[in-house]
Chains A and B, each alone.
Chain A
Amino acid sequence: MKKNYYLMSDGLLKRKENTLYFVNKDGKKPIPINKIYSIYAYGSLTFSSQSVHLLAKEGIPIHFFNYYGFYDGSFYPRETLLSGDLLVKQVEHYLNPGKRLWIAKKFIEGAAGNMEKVLGYYHVQNGIGKTVKDLTLSSNVTEAMNVEARMRSEYYSKMDEILPDGFKMEGRSRRPPENMVNALISFGNSMVYSTVISEIYNTQLNPTISYLHEPFERRYSLALDLSEMFKPILVDRLIFYMVNKRMLTEDDFEQKVDYCILNDGGRKKFIKEYDERLKKTIKHRELNRKVSYRRLIRLEAYKLIKHILGTQEYKPFVMWW
């Protein structure tokens, strides 16, 4: 029921009694506090401490993005879901090299499975399945990461077979993205990362203790771990869909000599579709009920908790439809 709010314009977040308002050049708009799941702030946002108190009380995170649309940081409200026992076990699975490697490999397998699904949907032959088999030879996380890198470059090289002319990727460029497809991937991946942070926030997992990524890489490295499995379905599929349907054109980008980013209009279009995708539901086979794509991320967190507690071995999420 709760939903994400995306603040695209510059503005002010303020509170009067228990009502939260977003004030921008178009006026003052109340946002129902009981309906907010997370806030994504893309414009420059000014906020009062009173509004932060209210968001903290309701446990609502804010994710901040910079001028280029890349993730800057989050307001992660004081945790109310704390479990010392789980934390100890979460750390134990990191400290034990065998246990850590086991989970790291599962995340890679999950990512590989979803990449294959995405390419398979467009009937693109690929060697991802073969590459990922090399994981059995990896005896530590660095080696597993190398397999992951090979698999990913195979994946990206196949993407151009799906993309229309004028929209080719020609290799992944990150900081900064050099063309439109790279701009979309970077922008989308930042969104997935933030979406995963919000899901982890709503569980007892600690977001900084991770298995595939090193806990010191970025603050919420567990969100990086879980993002890997969801990027193909939430971002890449969406890019293919929007680009092939001509929902995005050159006019939606800001192209400079050395970088390319989505402009305001492009961001709005992408976010609208992304949000639709999060809300989209599928029938979950084990649960025998409908769950949203966003909820799938939460379920992944639950499965990880169960693995850590030793009640059920973790099986990574791979699209089954």
Chain B
Amino acid sequence: MLSNSEKHLQVRGTEINYYFICKTKLWLFSHNIQMEQESESVSMGKQLHKKSYGREKKDFTIDNLISVDFIRRGETLELHEVKKSSKMEDAHRYQLLYYMYYLKKEKGIQNIIGFIDYPKLRKKEKVELTESEEKSLEGIIEGIGQIVHGTISKPEKKKICRKCAYYEFCWV
């Protein structure tokens, strides 16, 4: 058994995001039952991402686990995530915090700051990885592990379901 400090992080950024949105979706996604490929709102998101920030280097993927929308390198490393609306703030914030945490723990990169960009709202939010955020993240990662290794939970019907890529799957 590896101790926590020796274990590599295995969680994907999307899983952090889904943890806040829906446990059923998280379970399905992590068991590779994915539905995003035909979803109109997912394609809209991709399209938004493609056309905003055209000059930046986009889609920065590391170890197949994390995929940052774009980065800027200077004295500090800037990670940017582009989002449509600020409705799911916690989901977005912790996804980005996880990327920062991952780069710090796995790659030894210091001096990272994160930004969530909302081009449609012309808004930008700065995100910093503090010690207490690290603690919360560790709790989230553990929580994800429990959900993924447990049995799939029944979905709860929420307002956001109608736009979800898994809507038909869950409610048929």
Contacts and interface: CB of A to CB of B under 8 A. Distances in A.
Interface of A: 80-86, 202, 204, 284, 286-287, 291, 295, 298-299, 302-303, 305-306, 309-311
Given A204-B33, A286-B172, A311-B152, 11 more contacts: A81-B32, A83-B31, A85-B33, A86-B32, A86-B33, A204-B34, A287-B168, A302-B172, A303-B172, A309-B33, A310-B152
B32 A82 contact: yes
Interface of B: 31-34, 37-38, 151-152, 154, 167-169, 171-172
B169 A86 contact: no
Contact of A85 (B32, B34, B168, B172): B32
Contacts of B37: 80-81
Nearest to A89: B31
Contacts of A85: 31-33
A287 B154 contact: no
Contacts of A82: 32
Given A310-B151, A311-B152, A305 B169 contact: yes
A208 B166 CA distance: 24
22 contacts: A81-B34, A81-B37, A83-B33, A85-B32, A86-B32, A202-B38, A204-B34, A284-B172, A286-B171, A286-B172, A287-B167, A287-B168, A295-B168, A302-B168, A302-B169, A302-B172, A305-B33, A305-B169, A309-B33, A309-B152, A310-B152, A311-B154
Contacts of A305: 33, 169
Grouping DSSP codes into helix (H, G, I), strand (E, B) and loop, the B interface class, with mixed when no group exceeds half, is: loop
Contacts, number: 44
A84 B32 contact: yes
Nearest to B166: A302
B172 A299 contact: yes
Contacts of B38: 202
Nearest to A1: B40
Contacts of B152: 309-311
A287 B32 contact: no
Contacts of A202: 38
A202 B35 CA distance: 9
A247 B112 CA distance: 70
Nearest to B154: A311
Contact of B169 (A291, A295, A306, A310): A306
A310 B28 CA distance: 13
A132 B152 CA distance: 34
Nearest to B151: A310
A303 B171 CA distance: 9
Q: Please indicate which of the listed interface residues B37, B152, B154, B172 has the most CB atoms of chain A within 10 Å of its own CB.
A: B172
Contacts of A306: 169
A16 B65 CA distance: 36
B171 A287 contact: yes
Nearest to A296: B172
A284 B32 CA distance: 27
A86 B32 CA distance: 8
B90 to A, nearest CB: 26
Contact of A86 (B31, B151, B172): B31
B148 to A, nearest CB: 10
Nearest to B31: A85
A229 to B, nearest CB: 14
A204 B172 contact: no
B140 to A, nearest CB: 22
Nearest to A59: B37
Contact of A83 (B32, B154, B169): B32
Contacts of A299: 168, 172
B116 to A, nearest CB: 29
Contacts of B33: 83, 85-86, 204, 305, 309
A84 B33 CA distance: 9
A306 B37 CA distance: 19
Contacts of B32: 81-86, 204
Contacts of B172: 284, 286-287, 299, 302-303
